[in-house]
Amino acid sequence: MSMIVRYRDTYTIKPETETWSGYLPLSELDQIDMISHWYTIYFYKPPSEWLHLADAIFNTLRASLRRVLVPFYPLAGRLERLDGGRLRLDCNAMGVWLIEAESESELNDLGDFCPGPDFEQLMPSLDYTMPIHEQPLLLVQVTKFRCGGLALSLSISHVVADGLSAAHFYNEWARLARGEPLNIEPYYDRKVLWVGEDPSGARLPPPNLELSEFNHPPLLIGHANNLEQRMKKTTLAMLKVTKTQVETLKNAVNKDRPSHHPRPYTRFETIAAHIWRCVCKARKHKPEQATSLYFFIDARSRLRPPLKPGFFGDAVFNMVAGGTSGELVSSPLKCTSSVIREAIEAVTHDHVKSAIEHIRRQPDLTTFQDLHAQGSTQGVFYGNPNLRVSCWLTLPLNDLDFGWGNEIHMGLGNHDLDADFVVLPGREEAGGLVVAVCLQTAHIEDFKKFFYEDIVE
């Protein structure tokens, strides 16, 4: 059935008490992220005593949102664009948007909660043609279903928060809604990510490192651009991986592991390698086709000293592992995991500082920024012959309890770009995974076939 959502009202929610006002400088890692929002959606089936208290649930969310915006006051502000494409954050307490909606559908109508056209109605939308200084940094939509279930969709600006910071905010909001105090206070000092000066004020030269993550992604052989690939139709799928299948893959990559990698390969290094090889097979690339795997690295623990808990902002950036399709397909899976491991281990304190300094020296940052329009021909494209794998396994996004119990499903809000993969923890079995897949329609069935057939001892 096709779901119809009716929107009841949109509220502008401001901090409950007066907060600090002024301009908050943004780090270079904030500056190069997408001028858009990323979505997380939660589905709840409240216990029987809550089923007929939709208004009370909404009022709880609204009141606690006002309270949590006091310590997380930057989210109530607005971005301003400066010369050279740079941005700054005006902490002016203009507020966030809270949207109330309802649907005659039931949660069971959503099946396995695979993102699709119906999901768009459950997510708050924003007109990106409006001036950037008018766009809220946080949007929340609460949709009540006929069965008493709820969908809570959270949309937060890429510029002001990465995945860990967003999860920090969501969890603290839930704590306040339950009547508990904050667990970890956020802090916003971006100086911890500045480079180029030592404590005495002297200029320091940046370390001389190759920064492959800033190179343009490879193109298909024989193509001068990726415009044709951008226009290809895509299909979504949610692939479940059992704990046994995860262990089978891990055993395969860690058997006779190279001596220069004594530490066992992680779940991410294993599943990302498996995805990469299966994508190359499904696309039927020429053996000499160059292909890159892009993934996010959290710099918090890689800096010296590491960032302390509570840092709120962007501390992640894209890293890249490269190879040729022929090498990836013909070599054992552990070789692909090794390529990914080497890219991860290259992200040292010096590498992070070099990347930040490289961005700082750019006279115009617009070339680094993905445009907000997902289908834009000007933004970075990680599709065929490449892919991007995001790992949500270690993000504390699950079990978000606002007082009526944990969600029955947490997932992606929107997911429609070619070769965009997200690895999520499974809910049905501890140790299991779910891989959210978006691939060109012409490749998706072959990918699913290889994905499961290639899980062998």
Annotated active-site positions, please? 158, 401
Residues 6+ apart with CB under 8 A from 393: 267, 268, 423, 424, 425, 433
- Residue length, the chain? 457
Are 94 and 78 in contact, with CB atoms under 8 Å apart?
yes
DSSP code at position 296:
E
SS3 251: helix
| Helix ranges (DSSP H) in 331-440 | 333-345, 349-360
Q: Which two tokens stand for residue 365?
A: 């940052």
Are 325 and 385 in contact, with CB atoms under 8 Å apart?
yes
**Count of CB atoms within 10 A of residue 196's CB?**
14
Q: Judging by beta carbons within 10 Å of its beta carbon (0-12, 13-18, 19+), is residue 259 exposed, middle or buried?
A: exposed
Rounded Cα distance between 275 and 46, Å, is 36
Q: Which two tokens stand for residue 397?
A: 């996004």
Strands 78-81 and 5-13 turn out to be unpaired
The residue with tokens 């991410």 is: 268
DSSP code at position 374:
T
Torsion of CA 128, 130, 136, 138, to 10 degrees: -20
Q: Which two tokens stand for residue 185?
A: 């206070």
Are 23 and 91 in contact, with CB atoms under 8 Å apart?
yes
Region at 413 (left for phi over 0; alpha for psi -120 to 50; beta for the rest): alpha
